[in-house]
A and B are shown apart, each in its own frame.
Chain A
Amino acid sequence: MILVDLDALASCLTSPACLVTQTTSGLIIGMLLFLVAVGLTLIFGVLKVVNFSHGAFYMFGAYFAMTAYQLTGSFALAILSGAVGTALLGLIFERAFMSRVYGRDVLMQLLVCYAFVLIFDDVVRMIWGPEFRSMGMPAAFQVPPLFIAGGVVPPYYLLLIGVALAAAVVLGLGLARSRIGKVIRAAAHNPGMVSALGINTGLIYGGVFALGGMLAGLAGALAAPVRSLTPGMGFSVLIESFIVTVIGGMGSILGALIGALLIGLIRSFGSLGFPLFTEGLMYLFMVIVLVSRPTGLFGKEVA
């Protein structure tokens, strides 16, 4: 029972091998968190609702990927079905339920999402059973790990970081440069004017929700080979990605990236120095950011 183990932390910080290992593990936690958090922040930025059931999409992404992998044996198809399946789910969820509570009490929005957290967890329990499941590492990545400066880096981690980074770049450029991106940003700013210009805002809202769901599903699918799958796995991810968006600033993509990486590194290095209080460190960090900058590191004033 050691609460604080600063010696372990210090000896890791001075050893390049340990630094590399901990940094990569921090990076993959951070990248997965980023994919979930950026969807959360995007949905909040455009639709002005906090998708409290966002963790469920991460969970569904993982389970979809596992099923597709077991059926087809193709890892690419598994990732694809995780992403596409959750995108469809997001679209249906938004059009059928969330679209009814826009502009209503925050309480109502939270309640509708809370209802779906309960329902989705039970649906997963019904279909895939309550026990822990695992997808297993795909054959292509069952190769010996790479050694960088003496630190162990499984090749799959590199793929994971690469895919997440690519998603970040595509998303960032797409929102900044493309026509659709401009329409989305306009809809976030003034939906009334956008719809007066003859653009179907309902479609944009559904699309953004589907995109957010897809990113969370992609994260779940990417995490499936390295994490165990259980109903309720979405909730801790939801809490962490909310911490990320609060630290980075609601509605900011860059903020989500920085926040996610910070949380990832805090988790991986914190687990050395404060083995029992790693989660507490994240909350502590969030509290410090909130007290000094209530809108987060990159957040604008939220009306």
Chain B
Amino acid sequence: MTELQAGQGAQPLKVPRIDARPQRYRDVLIALAAFVLLALLPMVFGSKQLLDFVIRCAAYGLFATSLNLLVGYTGLISFGHGMFFGLGAYGFGLMMQKTGVPIPVAFVATLAMTFVVAVVIGAICVRLKEIYFAFVTLAFQMLVHSTILSWQSLTGGDQGLRGGIPRPPFLGIDLSNHLHLYITSCALLVIGLFLMRQIAQSPFGYTLRMIRDNATRASFIGIDVWRAKLTIFVLAALFAAAGGIIMALFVSGAYPEFAYWTISGEGIFINMLGGVTTFLGPMVGTVLLLILNDTVTRLTEYHGIVLGIVILFFAIGLRKGLMDFVVEWYGHRRGEGRG
């Protein structure tokens, strides 16, 4: 009897199947609760500034969380993720200005365009490792930025897309109404976060974690690492573009700064600030950075120095993001309580 035959009689290994449904129900509940809370906010605090703040959080939060799918879950440090934010803003703005299609059509068309661009750029970039990947994505970001600057007839060059983006009402939603815009942004944020959460918790999400921890081993057990990386690169680009669309709707225009490398730098920084080991870390980081930015710009014109020092505090001092720190500290306390 050979070894092969000996194996045949044995019972197949009993792998316990984890039922993912309860967790999904829980996520749906949390998402609904979050949406209801955000939607009720204008009734309690009517201040326009607060609502503006939440809309900006929605735009940057989607962008930063999608970047975390790359940085935190897959270990792909993209320094050019902001190009998709810019592409989303410009694509949507141009589509609305030039064609006058309904907003949902322009939304889907912008995502489709981002999809194509991300597949092409991703196919080139994800072959490269760590630092090469970081800088090639950065170079593509600069390419997109310089294209926007030089293609003046289409994009308005360094002035940006001006003249406002038309926002015709659809399905009873009128996005030129501030409250409607607010509710729509919140809905997009919650839906986007929910979808990204499902990606992160899916078997594919765990494949990404494995690639991050040991790409060689992952490819030995038959995972197509290149394809998995490309898939998440494209998915993350779509969510970043959605963030850009919210931003374009909010400012009713698009500016070259949306596609500049500092957006990517800020995204990385947000992830660092909030922490990359928890799903909601980047969201916390977004709120922190926006508050920090608003306060610092009000206090001093040299906000680069202040931001730089805060970054150094996190990178060299704390060595982790705020949420990482909180989670670790909480785990530590619980551990002590039990022991």
Contacts and interface: CB of A to CB of B under 8 A. Distances in A.
Nearest to A108: B315
Interface stretch (A156-164, A199-207, A238-246): A238-246
A239 B145 CA distance: 13
Contacts, number: 106
Given A107-B71, A290-B128, A291-B124, A119 B139 contact: no
Given A110-B77, A114-B311, A242 B135 contact: yes
B308 A243 contact: no
Interface stretch (A4-12, A76-84, A172-180, A278-286): A278-286
B127 interface: yes
Contacts of A119: 304-305, 308-309
Contact of A246 (B77, B135, B140): B135
Interface in B179-193: none
B269 interface: yes
Given A107-B272, A121-B304, A283-B139, A114 B146 contact: no
A226 interface: no
Nearest to A288: B124
B29 interface: no
Contacts of B130: 106
Indicate the member of B77, B124, B152, B305 with the most A CB atoms within 10 Å.
B305
Contact size class for A?
A: 35 or more
Nearest to A1: B153
Given A112-B316, A290-B128, A242 B139 contact: yes
Main secondary structure of the interface of B (DSSP, over half): helix
B45 interface: no
B142 A283 contact: yes
Interface in A122-167: 122-123, 125-126
Interface residues of B, number: 41
A276 interface: yes
B147 interface: yes
A290 B129 CA distance: 12
A1 B315 contact: no
A108 B147 CA distance: 30
Contact of A111 (B127, B135, B147, B269): B269
A118 interface: yes
Given A112-B315, A126-B302, A107 B139 contact: no
A277 interface: yes
Nearest to A96: B316
Interface in A47-87: 50
B157 to A, nearest CB: 10
Interface string B133-148: 0111011101100110
Interface in B147-166: 147, 150-153
A111 B153 contact: no
B150 A277 contact: yes
Interface string B108-133: 00000000000000001001111110
A278 B153 CA distance: 18
Contacts of B129: 302
Nearest to B302: A122
B302 A115 contact: no
Interface string B53-79: 000000000000000000100000101
A290 B136 contact: yes
Contacts of B315: 101, 108, 111-112, 115
Contacts of B240: none
Contacts of A242: 135, 138-139
Contacts of B131: 50, 106
A114 B142 contact: no
A182 interface: no
A106 B146 contact: no
Contacts of B138: 239, 242
B268 A110 contact: yes
B311 A276 contact: no
A96 to B, nearest CB: 10
A250 B303 CA distance: 33
Interface in A212-254: 239, 242-243, 246, 250
A300 interface: no
Contacts of B151: 276
A199 to B, nearest CB: 27
Contacts of B147: 280
14 contacts: A97-B312, A107-B268, A107-B272, A110-B77, A110-B134, A111-B315, A114-B265, A118-B307, A122-B305, A126-B302, A239-B142, A283-B143, A290-B132, A294-B128
Nearest 3 A/B pairs, CB to CB: A119-B308, A118-B304, A115-B311
